[in-house]
């Protein structure tokens, strides 16, 4: 199956290098703002970070989406305040409890872009299903790092090397509703963008 146009390429055409650089920088700024935006939610407040990452992946495509997330992580590693307030700043963030999620963000954006390029994520239902699956897959690196990898890297903390039940309680169960809401919001935004483009 070949690549289809993404929302970005359908809107702006083939972007030049300068435009791509500006899009990457704009994308990292959007993610940083979203990471620091907290919305009241049951059972815990949610940030809009993964909503922004999904949106960028769906709109930018796999390559530019992944590059944007790599740039975002580089900004965080350099000490810029781009991560959520509960995440450490600088290189320490990658060895904290959410280190696996940070790395997984790159794959998340790539996967959303891949779905968009294959025409899977264009209408509401296809985009929502893609967003839900991709959001669920983010827990693989998110849990693998504290459960198995952190101890091997010499990290000694109460969150490292615990059993699956611990991570289900503290890393997953309280965030599932928020993830589902953000997946639906991403689908509404992306499908709405395509609908608006079709009316032009």
The CATH number covering residue 176 comes to 1.10.1760.20
Residue identified by tokens 């083939």 is 14
pLDDT in tens, 58-114: 999 999 999 999 999 999 999 999 999 888 889 999 988 999 999 999 999 999 999
The answer to whether position 8 is within a domain reads no
For residue 176, is pLDDT > 80? yes
pLDDT band at 8 (very low <50, low <70, confident <90, very high): confident
- pTM tops 0.85: yes
**What pLDDT, on the 0 to 100 scale, is given for residue 16?**
82
Residue 1 in domain: no
14-35 pLDDT, tens digit each: 668 888 999 999 999 999 999 9
Residue 168 lies in a domain: yes
Residue 7 lies in a domain: no
pLDDT on residue 17:
86
Domain count, the chain: 1
In a domain, 172, yes or no: yes
pLDDT digits over 99-110, tens only? Answer: 999 999 999 999
Which pLDDT band, with edges at 50, 70 and 90, does 52 fall under?
Answer: very high
User: How far is residue 131's CA from residue 122's CA, in Å, rounded to a whole number?
Assistant: 11
Tell me: pLDDT of 155 over 90. no
Domain that holds residue 57: 14-198
Give ∠ CA 96-100-101 in degrees, rounded to 5.
100
Contacts of 165 (CB under 8 A, 6+ apart): none
In a domain, 6, yes or no: no
In this predicted model, which residue has the larger pLDDT, 131 or 160? 131
Residue 200: the pLDDT is 73
- CB-CB neighbours of 198 under 10 Å: 8
User: How sure is the predictor about 152, in pLDDT bands with cuts at 50, 70 and 90?
Assistant: confident
| 65 domain residue, yes or no | yes
């Amino acid at each position: 199956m070949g690549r289809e146009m993404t929302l970005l390429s359908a809107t702006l055409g083939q972007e030049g290098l300068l435009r791509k650089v500006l899009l990457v920088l704009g994308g990292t700024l959007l993610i940083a703002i979203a990471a620091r935006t907290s919305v009241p939610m049951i059972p815990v407040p949610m940030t809009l970070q993964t909503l922004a990452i999904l949106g960028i992946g769906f709109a930018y495509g796999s390559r530019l989406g992944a590059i944007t997330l790599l740039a975002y992580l580089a900004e965080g590693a350099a000490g810029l305040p781009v991560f959520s307030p509960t995440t450490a700043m600088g290189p320490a963030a990658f060895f904290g409890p959410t280190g696996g999620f940070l790395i997984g963000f790159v794959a998340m954006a790539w996967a959303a872009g891949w779905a968009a390029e294959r025409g899977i994520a264009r209408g509401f239902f296809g985009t929502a299903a893609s967003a839900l699956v991709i959001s669920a897959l983010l827990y693989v690196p998110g849990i693998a790092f504290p459960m198995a990898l952190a101890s091997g890297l010499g990290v000694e903390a109460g969150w490292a090397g615990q059993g699956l039940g611990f991570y289900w309680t503290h890393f997953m169960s309280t965030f599932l509703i928020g993830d589902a809401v953000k997946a639906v919001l991403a689908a509404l935004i992306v499908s709405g963008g395509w609908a608006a483009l079709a009316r032009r």
